[in-house]
Copies of this chain bind each other. A is one copy, B any other.
Amino acid sequence: MGRFPVPDVETLPADLRERIEAETERAGFTPNVFLAYAYRPSHFRAFFAYYDALVADTELTREELEMLVVTVSGVNDCLYCVVAHGALLRIYADDPRLADQLATNHRAADLSDRHRTMLDFAVELTEAPGHVDDADVEALEAAGFSRRAVWDVASVVAFFNLSNRLSVAADMRPNDEFYTLGRD
């Protein structure tokens, strides 16, 4: 898989090994992103610590968070993130089709005003960050997001603009399991 060596899990520092084992237990397989980042332990720690912070300290539901990830990853053409987070979105939204809709075109999904506004913002901040303006933030507030939640939306979008770029540069490939998880 990919453009960088994948280390043997046994040889990794204990904290990485533990995290990988926990993730493997939770998922039933080892998501490839953990193996890819293990190439550089200090980056592994930083990347997942940031991800954990986004999930733990947020005004967004987990479903909303994954809606953002899948939409942004679709815009950025990132296969790993579309497929792996597509699976998570199917599970958290309890909806077997929403991920394919958002990855292809969020305008073709039946979204609440709140979610349509959220994803319009995500696409703009991804495609043309310099165009973001007070009016965009006000549109989010008018759709029901607190100012604190606006930070969370922007942070998730920003983080996956990082994640998408490292994934494509590393040519990360989604585990086969992700393609079908949550489809029934």
Residues in A lying within 8 Å of B, measured CB to CB: 3-4, 39-40, 42-43, 45-47, 49-50, 52-54, 56-57, 74, 76-79, 82-83, 96-97, 100-101, 103-105, 107-108, 125-126, 129-134, 137, 147, 150-151, 154-155, 157-159, 161-166, 168-171, 173, 176, 179-180, 183-184
Contacts and interface: CB of A to CB of B under 8 A. Distances in A.
A42 to B, nearest CB: 4
Contacts of A101: 79
Contact of A57 (B43, B54, B100, B137): B43
A3 B125 CA distance: 15
- A interface: dominant SS: helix
A82 B100 contact: yes
A77 B158 contact: no
Copies of this protein in the assembly total 6
Given A50-B50, A96-B179, 17 more contacts: A4-B147, A39-B151, A43-B57, A43-B151, A47-B50, A79-B100, A79-B108, A100-B179, A103-B104, A125-B165, A132-B168, A137-B169, A154-B165, A158-B162, A158-B165, A158-B169, A183-B183
A43 to B, nearest CB: 6
Contacts of A159: 162
